[in-house]
Structure 1
């Protein structure tokens, strides 16, 4: 499995970074996760735009221009001969000395990994997920903007652990105001009376690329969609619930905190949007 590191494709066993890289030492870096469909990276331009914006937000200089990054991603996909799969694109601060100061680092590192992926088994798409609400809240937006897709995911990991301890593969996270934010790796949508609801960006969520696609598809299907503040009460009384993400795509949720959502089965609108999403990515 060739991995792209700083302009060179190397075998995975030789794909290494320095133990002094601040991405490893302090989570100082940014990343993107992207899907490959029919040999092409889905919404590559949107993902790269978010990557460069995340880097700029943390004063991290991406060492190559956008056109070169695009070519590097496509070259990595071709080298791994992937028709359907997943890309993890990482930019770290680079190796430096011990200590937080980014001025101690040199040579930001660009790493592109291409592999196959299946986040959830097919059973979860057919029968739906059961999730819990985590006691771990999303990072306060005044501390770190949720729009930055950084390498420091400990906040989400702790919520993920709590979900796993409850026997769930995902966990819902609230923001500092007690509003619904997102799950540990996915955005959340609710359906009520035939209309679609999802938390707004100022609820402390990542501006998900798949989330944006679902909102576009809802508009095409003439499904009323709203970005508004939501509470756990809204989740509990929803007719349907589903999650979206590059790896997860569109996956139904049938139970939250041991409470059935709707009739406890994946709903019709969820299935309709999932079908529309699958057709869209294959086009």
Structure 2
């Protein structure tokens, strides 16, 4: 089931001009949110990141967070009951001609897309198989991965190349050979009982689920640290997982030739349960 809201018009399908800069150049920003018990989880945090991404692109977002939230709720109300993937896109808009420099009269457009997802989130027992990508992560000095833009070719190519090699996803390294993240998810490993994840300085998108998990491990008193990781560090991990807004947690079974001892591991399972508890409380409080 698919439903769109383009500039306030709700419709099963939406069309946008071929002159739109989001279409022509990936000149757009977006956020992906999932509902839990029908409630968008961490919507304010996603909207804050949307504005930060837009500011990085020198792009204005003329709508208030309250208006965007109302449009999300109005779109959900028009959809059948269930759980949904929500994609919020702000494109810089369409020009009257094709050219890299936006025209002064270009007006942003707001698109909200709903797609039905499984009614209950489940933790995969099978896990996922990853490879270390040969393709390097986009440099923070070129196009900072911390900005969630419509330009996703770096991730797409890494994912295609991983799947051509028989894997399901890829971990990308930066120019220094440090692990950044997977193509759409943040990485976590457990070594010697310590939960570890790469710091934002290596060039990652600071995930909303990542931030939630960092708070959870603090609240639980679990040993943890944000630390630079290299491919060699993965061989000593007892378990590992990815985090993202839709997947939530995805256990990792294998990275290249390294098979993780536990999938899903006990720490992954504990964090899964705690994450669902946080989401349940947020839904009840909404």
- For the aligned pair, the TM-score class normalised by the smaller chain equals over 0.9
Q: In structure 1, how many angstroms separate the alpha carbons of the residues matched to 2:105 and 2:124?
A: 44
Q: In structure 1, how many angstroms separate the alpha carbons of the residues matched to 2:147 and 2:105?
A: 20
Q: In structure 2, how many angstroms separate the alpha carbons of the residues matched to 1:238 and 1:102?
A: 47
Flag structure 2 segments of 5+ consecutive residues without an equivalent.
282-286
Q: In structure 1, how many angstroms separate the alpha carbons of the residues matched to 2:25 and 2:36?
A: 33
- Please say if residues 130 and 254 of structure 1, whose CA atoms lie closer than 8 Å, have aligned partners that are also in contact: yes
Cα-Cα RMSD: 1.6
The alpha carbon displacement at 1:270 in A equals 0.8
1:179 alignment counterpart: 178
- Please say if residues 87 and 115 of structure 1, whose CA atoms lie closer than 8 Å, have aligned partners that are also in contact: yes
Q: In structure 2, how many angstroms separate the alpha carbons of the residues matched to 1:168 and 1:127?
A: 14
Q: In structure 1, how many angstroms separate the alpha carbons of the residues matched to 2:244 and 2:81?
A: 20
Flag structure 1 segments of 5+ consecutive residues without an equivalent.
none
1:87 has 2:59 as partner:
no
Q: In structure 2, how many angstroms separate the alpha carbons of the residues matched to 1:186 and 1:26?
A: 23
The alpha carbon displacement at 1:114 in A equals 1.1
Q: 1:269 aligns with which of 233, 257, 267?
A: 267
SS at match of 1:139: coil
- Please say if residues 242 and 251 of structure 1, whose CA atoms lie closer than 8 Å, have aligned partners that are also in contact: yes
1:78 alignment counterpart: 77
The alpha carbon displacement at 1:4 in A equals 1.1
SS at match of 1:126: coil
The alpha carbon displacement at 1:62 in A equals 1.4
- TM-score computed with the length of structure 1 as normaliser: 0.94
Q: In structure 1, how many angstroms separate the alpha carbons of the residues matched to 2:163 and 2:104?
A: 38
- Please say if residues 93 and 105 of structure 1, whose CA atoms lie closer than 8 Å, have aligned partners that are also in contact: no
The alpha carbon displacement at 1:173 in A equals 0.6
- Please say if residues 241 and 250 of structure 2, whose CA atoms lie closer than 8 Å, have aligned partners that are also in contact: yes
Q: In structure 2, how many angstroms separate the alpha carbons of the residues matched to 1:98 and 1:281?
A: 44
The alpha carbon displacement at 1:44 in A equals 0.3
Q: In structure 2, how many angstroms separate the alpha carbons of the residues matched to 1:108 and 1:138?
A: 28
Q: In structure 1, how many angstroms separate the alpha carbons of the residues matched to 2:181 and 2:81?
A: 30
The alpha carbon displacement at 1:266 in A equals 2.0
SS at match of 1:230: coil
1:168 alignment counterpart: 167
2:278 alignment counterpart: 280
The alpha carbon displacement at 1:105 in A equals 5.9
Q: 1:105 to 1:204 in 2, by over 3 A?
A: farther
1:58 has 2:57 as partner:
yes
1:102 alignment counterpart: 102
The alpha carbon displacement at 1:34 in A equals 0.3
Equivalenced residues, count: 277
1:7-86 aligned within 5 A = 7-9=8-10, 11-13=11-13, 15-86=14-85
- Please say if residues 29 and 148 of structure 2, whose CA atoms lie closer than 8 Å, have aligned partners that are also in contact: yes
